[in-house]
Structures are given as C-alpha cells and as structure tokens.
Structure 1
Amino acid sequence: LKAGLVALAFTLVAGREAGMVAGAAAFLGHCYPLWLGFKGGKGVATYAGLLLFITPLHGLVVGAPVWLGMFALTRISSLSALTAAVAVPPGAYLLGERSPIILGGLAALSVLVFWTHRANIARLLNGTEPRFGSKKKDAAEG
C-alpha cells in the first residue's frame, strides 16, 4: 500500500510515469531499507499496491488472477508471486500499455521480485519450498 500511495500522489501531481518512478523508489526502499542494513521484504505486496494505484487494470486483470490461479493450483505463495511477476509486463502490453517508462518499470520490478526470491527459487528447484498450510516437517519431507 505504501508504494501505491506514493505512486498515486506523484501520479496526481506529475502523471503516471512520475508515479511509476516514485512507486519504484518506494519498492526499493521496502526491499532495501537503509535503517535495517538494506535487509527488507521481498516486495510482492509493495508491487501489488503500486499496480493497483498506477495500472489498476493490469493489477486486477493480470497480476491478481495469475497469482490467485497459481496459488489455487500449488498453495505456494512464492511461486504464485513469481508467476504473476512474469505475467504482468507482457500482460500490460497486451492490454494496451505503451508507455516505455511504465512497461520498463514493470519489467524492472518483476526482475527485482525474482532477485529478492533467490532463496525461494532454490527451494522450489529442490522441492523444499513450503506450501501454505503445511507444517515445516511436511514441507521438508516434500
């Protein structure tokens, strides 16, 4: 929500492209906060908030359904987030987005979501990434 509100404020004052840049800065601040030694979150909810305020069509028609669909199939939050991150930039283009700043921002944030999920990707490849609702013992057993 914080990136979304920052993006919305900049959008209202200076346009969608400025909102995207401001939202991306908030995303980076969430993932790499100075006061926490650059160790923050993974940025998925921050990215979702940005989508809802800057490109709501892309968030609601592409991002959310892809995340929900993958989660319904796998019950793995990280895989759902990664799948949605892959889908949003081309989905935005297919839905008519033509701003290079918006498309480039979406692509860059999607790449950063993969970067922040490196450990999750390793667990996915090893088959040890936990599913929602599973106990740690169950996740370790596969």
Structure 2
Amino acid sequence: MSTSLLIMLVAAYLIGSMSGARITAFLFNTSNPTEHGSKNPGATNMYRIAGFKAAIVTFLFDVLKGTIPLWGAYFLGFQPLELGLIAISCCIGHIFPIYHKFKGGKAVATAFGVLLPIGLELGLALALTWLITAYKTRYSSIASIVAVSLAPLYVWLLKPKYTYAVIMLTILIIIRHLPNIKRLIQGQEPKIDDKRDRTNI
C-alpha cells in the first residue's frame, strides 16, 4: 500500500467520523438522536425527532463528507479499486466514528455521497430508487437496501470500471443493515414516520 493511499484512507475515515446528526442536533437544539427515536444518528431519525429541515441538513452534511474526499482522491489520480477502499474507509468512519466512541449510523447518505463523483446520472438513479421504494413501503431501511443493491448494476451500465469498487461498498452497507433485515422479517422495523422510541435502526 502506497503512503499516499494510506494518508487518504486515514483522512477519509476522520472526515467520515464527523456526525451530521449530532452536529444538526446541536445547531437546531434538538434531542440527542442517539437517545431518542430509533437511536440511529442519521437523517431519517432526525426527521422523526426534529422534522424535515433537520433531516435535510443532516443528509446534506453526511453526503458532502463522502463526496469531498472521493472527489479529491479522483482528481489526485487514484485508481478505481483504490477509490473503492477510500469510499469504504469514509463509510466506516460514519459507522464507527472515532469522535463518538465508535457509535455511528448506517452510512447510507455517506455511501450516496462517495458515489456521486462517478456521475450525476448515478446519483439521480439512486435517489429515485430510494424515494420510490420509500414512498411505496414507508421503510427507510428497505429503500436503502434496494438502492444500494442496485448501485453496482447502475454503475456497470454507466461506468463499468467502477463496478467492483461499488460492489465492495454495497456489501458493507448491506452487512450494516442485517439487524434491519431481521426486524423486517419479524415485523418490528419502524417506518419512516414512526415517531415512537424504538430499537436502533
């Protein structure tokens, strides 16, 4: 592993460790997202706790913290598989943030952010997939799983050279959603607009 790649991996992890939900909760003076709602520090839970504006701010922050390091790495000339490792490092930062005792979220918005440099067409396809699935099912977790599962197909159709890198990212996000899948099977998964305190999603 080259020194430059190692530096980018560490930088991506540290950037990914910044929590959009926690920062938004501070700015909006709302309840701690790790103690209320689903207890997941993400945009969906911020919507449950504080409404649409707080959710949008959280989402945008988590997207940008994925997009910025990947765009930087792209312009620095890193190869597709190296970009995939950097993307994963950024998402691992969100999932296991060093600033918050390694207790993070699902990294869906951050995963969306790291994929945006591949192309706006990909971003649009993923966003539409998530929105349509969420509208039909009312489950954020199902929408996320469907969108991330289709991401490698979309990338293969748009820019095939990034397919393997995106597959690695897809596997990470699906593994992170295994508890959600279990709760979906058991009928215990909270819907997007469920504002009751539930177990962590």
Identify the range of structure 1 (13-22 vs 23-32) with the bigger mean alpha-carbon deviation: 13-22
Retained in 2: the 8 A contact 1:23–1:50?
Answer: yes
Retained in 2: the 8 A contact 1:31–1:39?
Answer: yes
Distance 1:58 1:3 in 2: 15
Matches within 5 A, 1:102-121: 102-121=162-181
Amino acid at match of 2:105: G
Distance 1:56 1:47 in 2: 14
- Structure 1: which 5+ residue stretches go unaligned? none
Retained in 2: the 8 A contact 1:11–1:54?
Answer: no
Distance 1:128 1:37 in 2: 27
Shift of 1:103: 1.1
Aligned residue-pair number: 134
Aligned to 2:48: none
Task: Give the structure, 1 or 2, with the largest relative contact order (CA under 8 Å, sep 6 or more).
Answer: 2
Shift of 1:126: 0.8
Aligned to 2:13: none
Aligned to 1:125: 185
Retained in 2: the 8 A contact 1:4–1:23?
Answer: no
Over 3 Å counting, the alpha-carbon distance change for 1:31 and 1:134 in structure 2 is closer
Over 3 Å counting, the alpha-carbon distance change for 1:16 and 1:50 in structure 2 is farther
- Structure 2: which 5+ residue stretches go unaligned? 1-63
Shift of 1:52: 1.6
Distance 2:113 2:129 in 1: 16
How much is the aligned-residue C-alpha RMSD, in angstroms? 2.1
SS in 2 for 1:58: helix
Runs of 4+ in 1 over 4 A off after TM superposition: none
Aligned to 1:83: 146
Identify the range of structure 1 (103-112 vs 23-32) with the bigger mean alpha-carbon deviation: 23-32
Aligned to 1:9: 72
Aligned to 2:128: 65
Q: Percent identity?
A: 31
Distance 2:90 2:164 in 1: 16
Shift of 1:37: 4.2
Shift of 1:91: 1.8
